[in-house]
Amino acid sequence: MTSVSLKVNGKSVTREVEGRTLLVQLLRDHLGLTGTHVGCDTSQCGACVVHVDGESIKSCTMLAVQANGLEVTTIEGLAAADGTLHPMQAAFREHHGLQCGYCTPGMVMSAVDLAKSHEHLDEKTVREGLEGNICRCTGYHNIVKAVLAGAEAMRSQPAQAAAE
């Protein structure tokens, strides 16, 4: 067992894990943050996407020990403490960008990173930027609308967007 210390959603945590423990297992099984999901075993579906030091990564393809000393944000850490949704979360609701909700946490975390890393987003950029996230319900139509609207809102409401 190895000790791993990291910040998750702003709080410092330390846990004993095996070398083979994945970051997603640390989050779900050790920290009870079950909003991060696992939808495949080949690192493609993106249901497990979280932010590590502000960048989106697949938490099923990172060892927990590799996150030692880093800052992790999960879907649970995105909304403000008072429950106010992050602009990207709000946009997904407004535009019906989710149905069963299973891919949603990863989709939203990817979308936030996509919005932050592009000055301008159009439909093509969004579709290509979501290459690492698979949704089986929505046909992506409303997800694309939501991400475009959410990115726009992040630009106009920087304070809420920075809640992360």
Partner 1 sequence: MSNSPANAPVNATGIGASVKRREDFRFLTGQGTYTDDINRPNQTHAYILRSPYAHARINGIDTAAALEAPGVVAVFTGKDIAADKVNGLPCGWLIHSKDGSPMVEPPHPPLVLDKVVHVGDQVAVIIAETCEQAKDAAELVMVDYDELPAVTTSPEALKDGAPLVHDQATGNLCYDWHLGDKAATDAAFAKAAHVTKLDLINNRLVPNAMEPRAAIGEFDRATGDYTLWTTSQNPHVIRLLMGAFVLGIPEHKLRVIAPDVGGGFGSKIYHYAEEAIVTWASRKIGRPIKWVAERSESFVSDAHGRDHVTHAELALDADGKFLGLRVQTLANMGAYLSTFAPSIPTYLYATLLAGQYTTPAIYAEVKAVFTHTVPVDAYRGAGRPEACYLIERIVENAARELGIDKTELRRRNFIPPSAMPYDTPVALQYDCGMFEKCLDQALNLIDYKGFPARKAEAKARGKLRGIGLASYIEACGIAPSNVAGALGARAGLYESGEVRFHPTGSVTVFTGSHSHGQSHETTFAQLVSDRFGIPIENVEIVHGDTSKVPFGMGTYGSRSLAVGGSAISKAMDKVVNKAKKIAAHMLEAAETDIVFEQGKFTVAGTDRSLTIGDVALSAYVPHNFPLDELEPGLDEQAFYDPKNFTYPNGTQIAEVEIDPETGVVRIEKFVAVDDFGRVINPMVVEGQVHGGIVQGIGQALMENCVYDPQTGQLLTGSYMDYCMPRADDVPSFIVQYHEEAPCTHNPLGVKGCGEAGAIGGSATVMNAVVDALADLGIKHLDMPATPLRVWRAIQDASVPLAAE
Partner 2 sequence: MYAFEYHRPTSLSEVTGLVSGKEDAKIIAGGQTLIPTLKQRLAQPSDVIDLGAVAELHGIREEGGGLVIGATTKHAEVAGSDIVRRLIPELAELANGIGDAQVRNRGTLGGSICNNDPSADYPAALVGLNATVHTNKRTIPAEEFFTGMFETALELDEIVTAVAFPKPGRVGYAKFPNPASRYATVGVLVAEVDGAVRVAVTGAGPVVFRWPEAEQALSSNFSAAALNGLTVDADGLNADIHASAEYRANLVAVMAKRAVVRAAG
137 binds, among partner 2, partner 1, none (CB under 5 to 8 A by kind): partner 1
What character string, x for contact with partner 1 (CB under 8 A) and - otherwise, covers 89-128? x--xxx-x-xxxxxxxx--x--------------xx-xxx
Write out the E strands in the chain: 2-8, 11-17, 49-52, 55-58, 71-73
H/E segment holding residue 105: helix 104-116
Q: Is residue 28 near partner 2 by the rule CB under 8 A?
A: no
Interaction between residue 157 and partner 1 (CB under 8 A): no
By the 10 Å C-beta count (0-12 exposed, 13-18 middle, 19+ buried), 123 is classed as exposed
Cβ closest to partner 1, residue 118 vs residue 141: 141
Select from partner 2, partner 1, none the partner in contact with residue 101, using the beta carbon and a kind-dependent cut-off of 5 to 8 Å. Answer: partner 1
- x-or-dash string of contact with partner 1, 20-59, rule CB under 8 A: x-------x----xxxxxxxxxx-xx-x------------
Q: Which CB, 40 or 80, lies closer to partner 2?
A: 40
Q: What is the distance between the alpha carbons of residues 131 and 128, in angstroms, rounded to a whole number?
A: 5
Other beta carbons less than 10 A from residue 38's beta carbon: 17
Note the Cα 137 to chain centre separation in Å: 18
